[in-house]
Structures are given as C-alpha cells and as structure tokens.
Structure 1
C-alpha cells in the first residue's frame, strides 16, 4: 500500500483556503493546471511510497512514539509559492520548527520500521494546490497567494494516510486518501 505521514488542516481552514483558490481559477491559463482535490489537501511530512503490509504494526508503533515526543503547535496557512514551473503550493507560518521536527521524527520512524525511504531532504512545509504537465509560469498564481493569511489552528495529531491512485484512466481523476492511523501529539496512548 502507498503511504505517507501528514498533517491535515481542520475543515474551516480548508474552506478558507478554498475561497482563495477559487479566485486563482479566474487567472489566465488556470484551466491548463491540474488542481488538487480539496478532500486531499494536506501537508506531507514523510512520503513512504509502497509499504509492505507486514511492516504496518512496527510502523504504527514507531509513529505513535514519534507523535508522543512532540507537543501540539500553532500553524496557519500563509502565502504561496512554486517549485520550478510545475508545482503551485500554499505555505505555512507559525510553528514551523515543530512541524520540521515532526517530519523528521515521522521519517525516522518509517526508516526504523523497515520502510525503504527516498533520499532524505530538508523539510519544506507546503500544501500542493496545482501541478502542470507543461512548462508553466506559476508566478502569477504565487503572487496572487502572497497576501493570503489563514486563521491559526493547533496541530494536535499525526496522521498516516493511504493513497489510492486512480486506476480508471478518466481525465481529471485524482488519488483518494484514507486515514490509516492517527496519533495525538504529546499524549500517551
């Protein structure tokens, strides 16, 4: 199964972001972008890829430990940016050091559970909004997001998400995400 550790903003925060993204759809060229589905908006902490089901008990145990080692922290959606000319995202502000630490712990938990992780990279908190298959100037979208300031919330849990990739071959089809585990931050099981 395809898994990743994540932080998911609360529904009211996602609605607020949705209103900002709706305005982006009015910009020239927006129809050429592949917009991510709102039900799947999240901050990926550690992407694990395909994980053997036999590793799940150990992975769950280690992610639980990782969650208990950190306390809840405040976060808000903030501004926007792009990776190259292919990925548009909204950023975060607030407890970024705590978020980075949670990402590091989730990555380490997966490695210790036996998950073959990709090369380790410095964590950059972002929530992907759109992708482009073609070389696209995403600056106008990032510029439009620059003043965006979402309401703050307290991140109080670590989630393990299963990603079910589309298999129907229909245009616009998106992955479906389902919760495969959740652990409170800083709390005993």
Structure 2
C-alpha cells in the first residue's frame, strides 16, 4: 500500500493558485514546455505538501499510530500550526512545483516539527506543492519555473495532517485519505 503523510493547503490558497495557473498564457506555457513529453498540470484537488513518503509497502496501522503519538507530543507544548503561503516556483526531475514559504522562523520550525512527526527528514525537507509533471525531456531551468516565479498566494494554516493512500488506477493515481490527525487543540473543520 503506497502511503504518504500530507498537509493540505487551505481552499483559499488552492483557489488563488489555480486562478494564477489558469491565467498563464498558452504561448508561454508552450514555449516553456518545448521538448517535454506528456506535460500536464495536476488537478488542484490533488495539490498537497508531502511531509513524508512512507513507501509502497507501508503498514498503515504503524504509520497512523506513529503519527498520532508524535503529534500528541507536539500538542503537549501547544505549538501553533505553521502559517504558510505558496510562493515562487522550481523544478525537480519531471516535476514543476510551487514553493511553500513560512511566515516566520517559528513557522518554519513548526513545519519541520510536523515533517519529523510524520517520519520525514526535516533537515533535507524542501517544502513544495507539485502542480505539473512530465514523462520525459529536460525543462529549461529558468523558463518553466519562470511561469510562476513571482507568484505569492494568501497566508494559511492547516488544522490537520492526513495519511493518504495513493492507488494506481487506469486513469492515473487516485488519492484516498485513510487517517486524519488534528495539529491544533481545536477540532479540524
């Protein structure tokens, strides 16, 4: 079972970014994606920050138990969930992403604490949200991320983490939330 722990941006943040993507001029997108095979934007309903990828053979019960325990310890010190915004852009191999910017150093520390609670490596963590993928070819290191380089969205806080199962279907990957954990003393809502 392929599992990952995710932090989902607010609906407002998703709408704002989706609007920016929709406004991209088709000629600029075509120019920036020249030479890339099967370039496609991912649906905004799947936009998330992966805090930890648990693998293809992860034990769901172990993952959720660990997350529950570690988040409970974080909440004992009553940290506020990090205040974040989506800003800037970059690429990894086969991926166009929008960056995630913490508002303050304490927000950065809170995000990294959530990465550790999820089982991820907070030291090597690059907070990002994947908005497009391609199958093959090399992207221009400046042109493709330049489509959204000046982007900055609204600030938001997540109230929960999700353990998500990624199932392979004929039409691609389908995400299914299998567990939620509140990251604030308030109930998620």
Alignment correspondent of 1:176: 174
Q: Structure 1 186/66 Cα, relative in aligned 2: closer, same or farther at 3 Å?
A: farther
Alignment of 1:5-44 (within 5 A): 5-24=5-24, 26=26, 27=28, 28-29=30-31, 30=33, 32=36, 33-44=39-50
State the alpha-carbon separation in 2 of the partners of residues 98 and 35 from structure 1: 29
SS at match of 1:164: strand
Task: Show CA shifts across 1:88-109 (max 9, x none).
Answer: 100011223321221122116x
Which ranges of structure 1 fall in alignment gaps of 5 or more residues? 109-118
Q: Is the 8 A contact 1:8 1:42 kept in 2?
A: yes
Alignment correspondent of 1:98: 110
State the alpha-carbon separation in 2 of the partners of residues 77 and 87 from structure 1: 16
Q: Is the 8 A contact 2:160 2:180 kept in 1?
A: yes
Q: Is the 8 A contact 2:10 2:157 kept in 1?
A: no
SS at match of 2:153: coil
Q: Which ranges of 4 or more aligned residues in structure 1 deviate by more than 4 Å?
A: 29-32
State the alpha-carbon separation in 2 of the partners of residues 130 and 177 from structure 1: 16
1:174 deviates by 2.9
1:123 deviates by 0.6
Aligned pair count reads: 171
* TM-score, normalised relative to structure 2: 0.79
State the alpha-carbon separation in 2 of the partners of residues 181 and 58 from structure 1: 12
Q: What's the RMSD between the two structures over aligned residues? A: 2.5
Alignment of 1:1-189 (within 5 A): 1-24=1-24, 26=26, 27=28, 28-29=30-31, 30=33, 32=36, 33-52=39-58, 55-68=59-72, 69=74, 71=79, 72-84=81-93, 86-94=94-102, 95-107=107-119, 122-132=124-134, 133-166=136-169, 168=170, 173-187=171-185
